[in-house]
């Protein structure tokens, strides 16, 4: 799948490959120590944020998950 910003697509693919490799080779085998893809994610996230602004995509009221964000607590 391509990214929301055409300029971000290569970064997305690079991050996806890094994450999938880490997830399969480390995390699923019990090694949850660190995520080597954090820097790639941050660069990709910045690119997407820039693309959203440039395309004037309304995002008010949306919450995004990502590195440094906690999962919202369930209100049930």
Spatial separation of the C-alpha atoms in residues 37 and 76, rounded to whole Å? 33
Along the 76 residues of the chain, how does pLDDT read in single tens digits?
A: 777 778 899 999 999 999 999 999 999 999 988 889 999 999 999 998 888 888 777 777 666 655 555 544 444 4
Report domain extents, the chain: 4-53
What would the two tokens of residue 17 be? 């490959």
Predicted structure pTM score? 0.69
- With the C-alpha atoms ordered 24, 46, 14, 64, is the resulting torsion angle positive or negative? positive
């Amino acid at each position: 799948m391509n990214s929301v910003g055409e300029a971000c697509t290569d970064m997305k693919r690079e991050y996806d490959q890094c994450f999938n490799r880490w997830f399969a080779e480390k995390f699923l085998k019990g090694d949850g120590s660190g995520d080597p893809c954090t820097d790639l994610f941050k660069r990709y996230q910045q690119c997407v944020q820039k693309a959203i602004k440039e395309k004037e995509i309304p995002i008010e009221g949306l919450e995004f998950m990502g590195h440094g964000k906690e999962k919202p607590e369930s209100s049930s």
